[in-house]
């Protein structure tokens, strides 16, 4: 994979890992990364969200490996993700990259043509997968940078698979259909004794 392909892969992995918005990913500087050498410490990234609010998101080991490789020997003041001219990528550049990969995947996955796949779909997928992993809604709210838990509740509302799973846990299994009252021997004996 060439340099641009490696960065694209790292950026896509970063977007899925963090659930970051395009402009949040575009703003990330190397100094915002906490990539300790020791596995004792958790790796994370500081993101600047809407209203310039800061939040920290944990990073998976694979994301750390790829980010470490991408940022090696670069200044802490540099942006992590660069465009082909070596300048910081813009949110429009990130959108364009995602759209390019979706177009490239259409031959292998024709069903994508009928779906609205976007950068926001990656963010939505992150939140949905966290929810499916039984991460509590307040943690997901903080992870995604939502001000209100009501915004995060949207993911719980639209996930039909989780609704079906919840319904299955409540389903009564192996229940015997109720007898008609006249067929209940004990009840009939009791009534006759009155």
Residues with catalytic function: 21, 50, 120, 123
Query: 185: burial class by Cβ within 10 Å (0-12, 13-18, 19+)?
Result: exposed
* Separation between Cα atoms, residue 160 and residue 92, nearest integer Å: 31
pTM of the model: 0.74
Q: What is the dihedral of CA 127, 131, 135, 138, to 10 degrees?
A: 60
CATH numbers and ranges of domains, the chain: 1-116 (1.10.443.10), 118-170 (no CATH)
pLDDT string in tens for the chain (194-residue length): 556 788 999 999 999 999 999 999 999 999 999 998 756 668 999 999 888 889 999 999 999 999 999 999 999 999 999 999 999 999 999 999 999 998 888 889 888 888 887 888 888 888 888 888 888 888 888 888 877 777 676 666 666 666 667 667 666 666 666 667 677 788 778 778 87
């Amino acid at each position: 994979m060439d340099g641009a392909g490696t960065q694209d892969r790292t950026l896509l992995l970063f977007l899925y890992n963090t659930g970051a918005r395009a402009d949040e990913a575009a703003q990330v500087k190397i100094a915002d990364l906490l990539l300790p050498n020791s596995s004792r410490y958790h790796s994370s990234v500081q993101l600047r969200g809407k209203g310039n609010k800061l939040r920290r998101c944990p990073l998976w080991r694979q994301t750390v490996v790829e980010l470490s490789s991408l940022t090696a020997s670069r200044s802490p003041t540099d942006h992590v993700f660069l465009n082909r001219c070596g300048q910081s990528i813009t949110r429009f550049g990130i959108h364009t990259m995602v759209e390019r990969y979706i177009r490239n995947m259409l031959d292998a996955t024709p069903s994508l043509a009928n779906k609205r796949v976007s950068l926001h779909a990656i963010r939505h997928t992150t939140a949905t997968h966290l929810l499916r992993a039984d991460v509590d809604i307040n943690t997901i709210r903080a992870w995604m940078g939502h001000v209100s838990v009501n915004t995060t509740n949207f993911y719980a509302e639209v996930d039909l698979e989780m609704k079906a799973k919840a319904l299955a846990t409540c389903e009564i299994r192996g229940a015997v259909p109720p007898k008609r009252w006249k067929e209940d021997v004990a009840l009939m004996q009791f009534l006759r004794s009155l």
